[in-house]
Amino acid sequence: MSLFAIRDDDTSFFTNPEELESVYKSYWGKVPISLATIPFSGPEHRARSFDPTCSPDSENPLGANKNLVDWLKNKNKNGQIEIMLHGYSHRYRRINGQWVGEYGWKPPEQLAEETRRGKEYLESLLETNIKEFVPPSNTINKYGIQAIRSENLNLSGVMGRGLDRPFTLDYMQAYAKRWAWRLRHGDAYPFPLRYGGHSELRAYTLTPRSDEDGLCRSLRYCASINAPFVLATHYWEFNDFPNMHSSMARLISLAENLDMKFAKLSSCFGE
């Protein structure tokens, strides 16, 4: 049976639990939501500000939002959500005219230290174990990979075109497997890719610009080959683009019709 998971990115100090409720209230008890959570978020993600009154350089601990912490702990205890690590501060830097996510520009020692500290902080604050990492803007270089491996975290995302992972024999094998699949099937490798002691798994993105019919085609395909389907989205986009609600409802209903099993993202890695 194929698994269906929802990954929602950007829960942080700036999140009001009602924003998450407004997106997922129809699904509690049926579809668990895997929340990619930022431990010490800055107020600005790329050009978007979550709080214009907040100093752009500030790093705001999730624990300072007591309402959110209580809500997350309660939902997690009931098995309705799981917590994943989503970077440290989610700060971008502009390099050669491009916004680059923090796991693409921070020095190796800083990535190692912040990954460890961010994971420990969220685990202790929310009384949970974290097993997955979601890189901000889906950007991660080989130093970021080393940092998450040291913390035994799996990656929601897949390797890029090349040389973005520590260069080892099992990396070469995984790379060959992935490109052989792409050449044969014309799409990214759909199963967990295991190497270097951790796993990586692709996700399918739901944004205001997503091709809904294309997502439905991918979902049907995953169900037919017994591959997991991870739908990645951002709760804060639903407010401005309410048609995302109907897209999500259509995908969930299709997954039900295809007899897929709703699961946490960690289950898609076989854990």
Per DSSP bridges, beta strands 48-49 and 44-45 are antiparallel
Q: Which region, judged by CB under 5 A, interacts with Zn ion, from 9-17, 54-62, 191-199, 201-209?
A: 9-17
Comparing CB distances to Zn ion, the nearer of 136 and 228 is 136
Comparing CB distances to Zn ion, the nearer of 106 and 178 is 106
Residues 118-147 that bind Zn ion (CB under 5 A): 136
Q: Which region, judged by CB under 5 A, interacts with Zn ion, from 4-12, 69-77, 162-170, 173-181?
A: 4-12
Q: What does the alpha-carbon distance between residue 185 and residue 12 come to, in Å, rounded to a whole number?
A: 38
Per DSSP bridges, beta strands 132-133 and 154-156 are parallel
Comparing CB distances to Zn ion, the nearer of 10 and 200 is 10
Comparing CB distances to Zn ion, the nearer of 226 and 239 is 239
Comparing CB distances to Zn ion, the nearer of 14 and 195 is 14
Which residue, among 199, 242, 210, 204, has the nearest Cα to 223 in the 3D structure?
A: 204
Which residue, among 23, 43, 42, has the nearest Cα to 33 in the 3D structure?
A: 23
Helix (H), strand (E), coil (C) string for 69-128: HHHHHHHHHCCCEEEEECCCCCCCEEECCEEECHHHCCCHHHHHHHHHHHHHHHHHHHCC
Comparing CB distances to Zn ion, the nearer of 10 and 82 is 10
Position among 5, 6, 10, 60 found at the interface with Zn ion (CB under 5 A): 10
Amino acid, res. 210: S
Q: What does the alpha-carbon distance between residue 129 and residue 148 come to, in Å, rounded to a whole number?
A: 14
Q: What does the alpha-carbon distance between residue 226 and residue 157 come to, in Å, rounded to a whole number?
A: 19
Comparing CB distances to Zn ion, the nearer of 2 and 135 is 135
Q: Which region, judged by CB under 5 A, interacts with Zn ion, from 1-9, 119-127, 223-231, 262-270?
A: 1-9
Q: Which region, judged by CB under 5 A, interacts with Zn ion, from 5-13, 179-187, 202-210, 262-270?
A: 5-13
Does 114 sit near Zn ion (CB under 5 A)? no
Matching residue, tokens 């800083």: 110
Name the closest residue to Zn ion (Cβ): 9
At residue 88, what are phi and psi to the nearest 5 degrees?
-120, -60
DSSP secondary structure string for all residues of 183-251: HHHSS---S-EEETTEEEE--EE--TT--HHHHHHHHHHHHHHT--EEEEEEHHHHHH-THHHHHHHHH
Residues 94-113 that bind Zn ion (CB under 5 A): none
Position among 9, 44, 102, 200 found at the interface with Zn ion (CB under 5 A): 9
Residues 18-37 that bind Zn ion (CB under 5 A): none
Name the site residues for Zn ion (rule: CB under 5 A). Answer: 9-10, 136
